[in-house]
Structure 1
Amino acid sequence: MQKNVREIAVIMQDKEKEYKICEKLRRQPELRDLKILCREQLQSLGPSETFNKRLKRLQPLAGRVLLTDLQDTELPEVVKNIPSIGYGFDYRGSAKYVVENTDSIDKMYLETVYCRYYRFPLEIAETDRLILREMQLADLDSLYEVYDTLRDCPYIEPLYERAEEEEFTRQYIKNMYGFFEHGLWLVIRKEDNKVIGRAGIENREIDGELQKELGYLIGKPWQGMGYAAEACLAILDYVKERELCSHLFLCCHQKNIPSISLAQKLGFTVYAEDIDGMNLYIYKSNA
């Protein structure tokens, strides 16, 4: 998993509150390898002007995320222009991520804040053989290669022409990853960093409501090796850990026997059959 974040800067209006939050974060086992810095420790780093010049030169490698209940104009120079998390019900700053307490702050949450700020692709999961991460424009060549291996598959819709696909990808990154915090992710083989497919969570309207749907595809040369199951199991674990939803749907063609078998192997059960030649399956993540 990504390790961009190395420090959490905690700055609160009330110093006693700041100290308690720092101590609570330091006690979280998952965050023990991160530096938790309060205002006094930040000020000891040296003159703010010198630090800011160094920070600007190093960004986005600084590895710092700010947790604060202050408004933007109240922040010291040493923590301006870095990824931020607002704290508390009455937070009035510009941070895009806000928490009520520290319970939801773990490494995945910090990496999400950091990557969204710097527009990095976020790694979602890692298995023995695979990495699942968000797509970026630079991945399109690899994606076209994958889809080219599936050009004879009747169940896979082709990508758009290049210019249209690039614009679609820009909007997808902004709206699916940036707003919904999920989408189709790249399936990357670790041994050679090769993009071999896509898998993830899409939105689909079912019975008049917006639901979450598991989707996946693996390029033809890499099928039959268990990669689809490995990727999908990692996604199901991710859904449970992040408590994204109570259930997931999966839609596949009635004649797509491998996908039907995989759905059953993953624990999906039939929800509806023969809807324009498609079967709909459901998985209860809280079961």
Structure 2
Amino acid sequence: MTWEQELTIEGNVFQVTISDDHEALRSAFAEGRAVVGLWDRGRTNQNLAPAAYVVESLGDLNDEFLERVVRRNEGLPWNIARTQRLTIREFVPGDFAFLPHEPEAGASGDIFLKEESLKEYIRHQYRFYEYGIWALIERGSGKLVGKAGISNLDLEGQDELFHAIKNNDTPVELGYHIFSPYRRNGYGKEACSAILSYAASAVSERIYARIHEGNSGSRKLAEGLGFRLIARTHSGSAPGLCLYEWNCS
């Protein structure tokens, strides 16, 4: 069976094809339409390619889900949240021209230093995980003022922090970077607060943050957001690394 759904996004009308038939999905995809596979548990060897999204019943579909499918197909950014002063959305390739090359701790910072690596990040990170580092757009001016979001937490080689993670937890961490011309305006707290609210329902109820012990500003921000210190590294004279945890429950 095949169904067609019409959806309006930002004033443009898009067609979505939902089907349990491979040929119908393949034909619609070849024509540039977004597609959703309808999985039948009773059928063996069901081929739902090239659908990147699959549901078991039409009841699993809603406008938000279909909008996400369309945006992925069209390369349109997903809007995460709007605050009083900021729009938080996925990065688009055109943002690279407005990214300052400022030093930033962590491997994720390297992604934003090269145009091609940013394109690859957009293409793969958002589509696979449905979360990542997002652009912070000042609503009044439309300027890119920083980035913030949720990343997978890699604690390899940091055993003191690793042992503090809950059993069976797939840890993710909050990170943010406000560009130097826009600091001391409260954008970090405003963005992170909205991201935590979003992440609690869309990503994980438990979020971590790693902060260097001497970074009093970031530690104060984390504590103000409701994070609590659960572990720190101790490596002689080197500055310690603190692990904070936020839990919405």
TM range, smaller chain: 0.7 to 0.9
| Aligned residue number for residue 44 of structure 1 | none
Is this contact kept in 2: 1:155–1:253, CA < 8 A? no
1:114 is the counterpart of 2:70: yes
1:229 is the counterpart of 2:185: no
1:255 is the counterpart of 2:231: no
**Equivalent in 79, 93, 102 of residue 137 of structure 1:** 93
**Equivalent in 223, 228, 238 of residue 264 of structure 1:** 223
Identity, in percent, stands at 29
Pairwise CA distance, 1:76? 8.1
Alignment deviations for residues 145-195 of structure 1 (CA, whole Å, 9 cap, x no partner): xx44xx5xx857896599x71222122122211211211111000111000
Pairwise CA distance, 1:78? 11
How does the TM-score come out when normalised to structure 1?
0.67
Is this contact kept in 1: 2:36–2:52, CA < 8 A? yes
Pairwise CA distance, 1:257? 1.2
* Distance in 2 separating the partners of 1:78 and 1:141: 31
The number of aligned residues is: 226
* Residue identity matched to 1:196: V
**Equivalent in 233, 240, 246 of residue 274 of structure 1:** 233
**Equivalent in 29, 47, 51 of residue 92 of structure 1:** 47
**Equivalent in 119, 129, 132 of residue 170 of structure 1:** 119
| Aligned residue number for residue 150 of structure 2 | 201
1:220 is the counterpart of 2:171: no
Q: Secondary structure at the match of 2:153?
A: strand
Q: Secondary structure at the match of 1:228?
A: helix
* Residue identity matched to 1:137: P
* Distance in 1 separating the partners of 2:140 and 2:179: 16
When Rg is computed on C-alpha atoms for both structures, the one with the higher figure is: 1
Alignment deviations for residues 69-119 of structure 1 (CA, whole Å, 9 cap, x no partner): 333248887995311112234463221101223565344322221111112
Pairwise CA distance, 1:139? 0.9
1:69 is the counterpart of 2:20: yes
Instruction: Label 1:161 to 1:263 Cα distance change in 2 as closer, same or farther (>3 A).
Output: closer
Alignment deviations for residues 18-44 of structure 1 (CA, whole Å, 9 cap, x no partner): 7xxx9xxxxxxxxxxx968xxxxxxxx
* Residue identity matched to 1:213: E
| Aligned residue number for residue 55 of structure 1 | none
* Residue identity matched to 1:278: L
Question: For the aligned residues, what is the CA RMSD?
Answer: 3.3
* Distance in 2 separating the partners of 1:231 and 1:213: 14
* Distance in 2 separating the partners of 1:224 and 1:270: 24
| Aligned residue number for residue 200 of structure 2 | 240
Is this contact kept in 1: 2:136–2:148, CA < 8 A? yes
How does the TM-score come out when normalised to structure 2?
0.77
Instruction: Label 1:102 to 1:217 Cα distance change in 2 as closer, same or farther (>3 A).
Output: farther
* Residue identity matched to 1:282: E
| Aligned residue number for residue 159 of structure 2 | none
Unaligned runs of 5+ in 1: 1-11, 23-33, 37-59
**Which structure 2 residues correspond to residues 9-88 of structure 1 after superposition, within 5 A?**
12=1, 61-73=12-24, 81-88=32-39
**Equivalent in 49, 57, 63 of residue 101 of structure 1:** 57
